[in-house]
Structure 1
């Protein structure tokens, strides 16, 4: 079936309106009319060819919220009219150890991305959520229980939310834990909100003094300007866990020195250039760890969505019409958004 979408035919061209094909729903498929789609830095990098291997035409978008319009004959978990979401994955091998444990993001064969993933559907790769509709295997569709008026702000939970939730849960963040969140952007602002909702004592790290009040408003108990050596030294050896959301290359030692013995700093941002090599001594002499984490599995994404619905957690967003996407990309590169753009997909009709 044909649907309107916004995408690009090459990395040096702006996004434009195009018609794309979606498969007819198979036995295990869910057809979704997309209401909102969040805008992620990954969208920009992929569609503009800044990451190797972009397949064109490229239609980005993996923070999808919409409503079910049809279900396959074997689908039992969803009904027409339900509010649902689709995140960064639409398939995986479903039989390796990671998939069997509900950690499809670590699939031995590599998960199939919501866009730019190899598929049997035309044009041979997946096309994402900057579109009117999408058809997805029911194993990769998520239930959304937030009220209708919050649905646009739910969209970024499907990437920014789960990217921060997964490590917070894996490293047992909760009451009695002192947790640092490095960076107050699209990912970091969700990290602060989620860590706060989980009951931790949250310290936000920013390079900008002018983000102090904003971080407190998000739920941080304290804010540290990381360029201020006195403020940093006051927290030496005191953190149970640090979530580092910064994607730019920077000195990791400044933060590992703040960890307690046996504590971990987890990285979720991939820098364009490698971080300077961390001091091994700072790790060895306190049995500290530096780890990484990638989005989250379907089960933990559903857990996160349910938790956020119960606690009223959503992203801070700026809504845009699809026609303004290139301007939004440019603003996003300048960090000129608090904290996530979301597309009103109804504007595809304009």
Structure 2
């Protein structure tokens, strides 16, 4: 075991503090990564505050990890020392079920092993990217193209794939009208990717406060959902709505904005239940769906796509001692658009 500096939450709802953790030694197929940058995802806050249920403490959050390979096991064939790499939301899965074999490891029948707040196959807790180093099986490591800065690439490992996957699955592209609901850490990536795919893109946000940003990132239209006229004007407009909102919504109102057989795909996960009038989906044959990150192959596809289109996250780079303040600012929607930790400051 190797001792590594990290930031951890010692208990639920407690402030994160500097500490040390133990990383396993590099095994046959392992890659040791010197972490350079780690994004702060809203998921980190949900988990630290046990918003989604009981969690494992102490917890080192972080599943938007970018760094450089510092050591490889003797059986590693995909990576070499010095490679620019990333780690996303999972670090293992069963590798045997139909989903794993089809490249959808995120839906593993046995459950994927989350990068943090989980137990690995040996029953040991996993610790995430708010740390100086991580050891991961090569099959769950991604290659970051040279044209992407590691700082702006880190959020792609969650925010990027979380929006790319449903946009691809439901056919966003030329001739389609796509709405991105929410203009935050996930939403701004959804706008950039949907635009690059060739869709006509509309942002649906509570206010017009970020309108200029949205248009610069590729949105064709921008509407405030706080204005009731928006729902009258846009009724029956969209082929696809990707909701990145992590608060309960009036789903019936948003389903009304879809064309017949359109889909409302949810990637934001509220802590509270939501209600639905089933006539909102029966009428017009509309779909209410969910999407969770993407498999390893699709995540690599996303990174290559973003590199090819010059897409990185819009970030605020912070030192590690600013993590707790960053959490509060995320909760207040006071970030444009993703906090990224310079892990050299841990």
Sort the TM-score into its range (normalised by shorter chain): over 0.9
Q: 2:329 aligns with which of 328, 331, 343?
A: 331
State the match for 1:14 in structure 2. 15
- The answer to whether 1:144 aligns with 2:144 is yes
Aligned pairs (5 A) from 1:79-118:
79-118=80-119
Give the equivalent residue in structure 2 for 1:280: 278
Question: For residue 292 of structure 1, what is the aligned residue in structure 2?
Answer: 290
Q: Which residue of 1 aligns with 2:301?
A: 303
What's the TM-score, normalizing by structure 2? Answer: 0.97
Give the drift of 1:121: 6.2
Secondary structure in structure 2 of the residue aligned to 1:243: strand
Contact 1:224-1:232 at 8 Å conserved across structures = no
2:252–2:280 CA contact under 8 A, matched in 1:
yes
Give the Cα–Cα distance (whole angstroms) in 1 for the partners of residues 150 and 4 of structure 2: 22
Three-state SS of the structure 1 residue aligned to 2:204 is: strand
C-alpha contact 1:267 1:292 (8 A) present in aligned 2: yes
Q: Separation in 2 of the partners of 1:57 and 1:285?
A: 48
Aligned to 2:173: 174
For 2:70 and 2:57, the matched residues in 1 are separated by: 28
C-alpha contact 1:130 1:345 (8 A) present in aligned 2: yes
> Given the superposition, is the C-alpha separation of residues 120 and 300 from structure 1 closer, same or farther in structure 2, using an over 3 Å criterion?
closer
How many angstroms apart in 1 are the aligned matches of 2:53 and 2:250? 26
Gaps of 5+ in 2: none
Residue 324 of structure 1 and its aligned partner are, at CA, apart by 0.9
When residues 60 and 182 of structure 1 are mapped into structure 2, their CA distance, relative to the original with a 3 A threshold, is same
Deviation at 1:98, TM superposition (A): 0.6
Partners of 1:47 and 1:226 in 2: CA distance: 30
Question: Which residue of structure 2 aligns with residue 266 of structure 1?
Answer: 265
Corresponding residue for 1:130? 130
Name the CA distance, whole Å, in 1 between partners of 2:82 and 2:234. 50
Number of aligned residues:
345
Which secondary structure does the structure 2 equivalent of 1:67 belong to? Answer: strand
Preserved CA contact (<8 Å) 1:23 1:121: no
CA distance in 1, matches of 2:236, 2:165: 24
Partner of 1:60: 61
CA distance in 2 between counterparts of 1:247 and 1:16 reads 26
SS of residue in 2 equivalent to 1:3:
strand
The Cα of 1:12 is off from its aligned counterpart by 4.2
Q: Structure 2 CA distance, aligned partners of 1:169 and 1:204?
A: 18
| Structure 2 counterpart SS, 1:242 | strand
Distance verdict in 2 for CA 1:230–1:50, change over 3 Å = closer
CA shift, 1:66, in A, is 0.2
RMSD: 1.4
Structure 1: which 5+ runs fail to align? none
Distance 1:28 1:87 in 2: 18
Alignment partner of 1:117: what SS? coil
Alpha-carbon distance, 1:280 to partner = 2.1
Partners of 1:78 and 1:192 lie apart in 2 by 32
Query: What do residues 217-256 of structure 1 show as CA deviations (whole Å, max 9, x unaligned)?
Result: 2210001112223333222212111111111111112221
Is this contact kept in 2: 1:178–1:200, CA < 8 A? yes
Q: Distance in 1 between matches of 2:340 and 2:312?
A: 12
